[in-house]
């Protein structure tokens, strides 16, 4: 299963303006397809090299490394979703 929607950027609670015009909402590739290039193909087809923002779980080193290889970096913004209080999301931008 693969999924990679791109949406107009939404500001985080407390932000006045989004930091980019586009936000990558999610890329999901099932574990059976990790390392096959499917995630890269999804990212390339949805964003290319355009500036964007995304939120990633700080406890997800695989995703953080993937986005880092694609030019994203942390900008210092973090949030916790009340529906999943054990997960801290951090914003990455490029």
Report the CATH number at residue 49: 3.40.630.30
Q: What is the mean pLDDT of residues 5-30?
A: 70
Share of the chain above pLDDT 90, in %: 77
Residue 1 has pLDDT above 70, yes or no: no
User: From CA 2, how far away is CA 87, in angstroms rounded?
Assistant: 22
User: From CA 29, how far away is CA 6, in angstroms rounded?
Assistant: 15
Give the pLDDT confidence score for residue 13 in this predicted structure. 52
CB atoms within 10 A of CB 70: 17
Q: Which residue has the higher pLDDT, 45 or 15?
A: 45
- Number of domains comprising the chain: 1
Give the pLDDT confidence score for residue 19 in this predicted structure. 86
SS3 82: coil
């Amino acid at each position: 299963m693969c999924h990679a929607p791109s949406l107009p950027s939404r500001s985080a609670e407390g932000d006045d303006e989004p930091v980019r015009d586009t936000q990558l909402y999610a890329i999901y590739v099932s574990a059976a397809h990790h390392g096959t290039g499917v995630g890269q193909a999804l990212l390339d087809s949805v964003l290319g090299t355009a500036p964007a923002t995304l939120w990633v779980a700080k406890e997800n080193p695989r995703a953080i490394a993937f986005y880092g290889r694609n030019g994203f970096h942390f900008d210092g913004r973090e949030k916790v979703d009340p529906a999943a209080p054990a997960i801290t999301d951090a914003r990455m931008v490029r």
